[in-house]
Amino acid sequence: MQYRNLIVALLVVTFSVGVARAEMPLNAERVVISIDKTSQKMTVSLNGQLEYVWPISTAAAGYTTPSGTFHPFRMEEDHFSDEWDDAPMPYSIFFTPVGHAIHGSEHLKSLGRPASHGCVRLDPANAAILYTLVEEVGMANTIVVVKGGGIKRVSPERESASLYGISEGARFSPGALY
C-alpha cells in the first residue's frame, strides 16, 4: 500500500512540474525593471543583460512610491488618471492594486527628481519602448523591483497603507488610478 501511495505522489509531482513548465517555458524571455528612488533612475534588463537606463520621477514629498517586488497586471496604451484631473498617463504599466503605474509624462523637466503622486514617470518615448518590450515578453515574464529612498518604521496598523503608498493626509480613493 505504501508503495502505491509513493507512486501516486511521484506522478502528481511530475504532472505538477510539467504543468508549471508549460505555463512558463524555461527559455522564456524575462524583463526586470529596476526602479531606484534614491538615484531617480530606471534600469531595464532583458534576460539578465542591461538594455536601458533612464531618468524617472517617483513620489514627491507627501506621497509614496511603494518599495518591493511586483508583477505588472494591467497595461493601457492611452490611459488618463481618474484621480488627478484626467492627467495623461501614456503607455501605463500598472504594478500595484491601488493604481501605481510606470507611465510616460509630459513633465520632462521633472525627470531625475521626485515629482509624482506615487507613480513612476518617464519620458513618453522611453515609456513606449518599455511598453512594447513588456507587451512582447509578457507581463508574467516581467518583474518590477522598486528600492531606495530610505526606510521608515511604521506602526502595524498603518503598515498596509504604507505598503500601497497611502500617505497621511493624502487624497485616497480605493481603486483610484494614480
pLDDT tens for each residue of 26-75: 567 999 999 999 999 999 999 999 999 999 999 999 999 999 999 999 99
Reading the block at residue 63, the C-alpha cell is 506621497
Rounded (to 5) percent helix, strand, coil in the chain: 30, 30, 45
CATH class as words, domain 31-163: mainly beta
Q: Which of 109, 28, 35, 108 is nearest to 66 (CA)?
A: 35
Are the CB atoms for 55 and 112 separated by under 8 Å? yes
3 vs 107: which has the higher pLDDT = 107
Residue 140: pLDDT above 50?
yes
Give the CB-side neighbour count of residue 157, counting CA atoms within 13 A. 1
Cβ–Cβ < 8 Å for 55, 111: yes
pTM of the prediction?
A: 0.69
Query: In which band, very low, low, confident or very high, does the pLDDT at 82 lie, cut at 50, 70 and 90?
Result: low
Radius of gyration of the chain (CA): 19
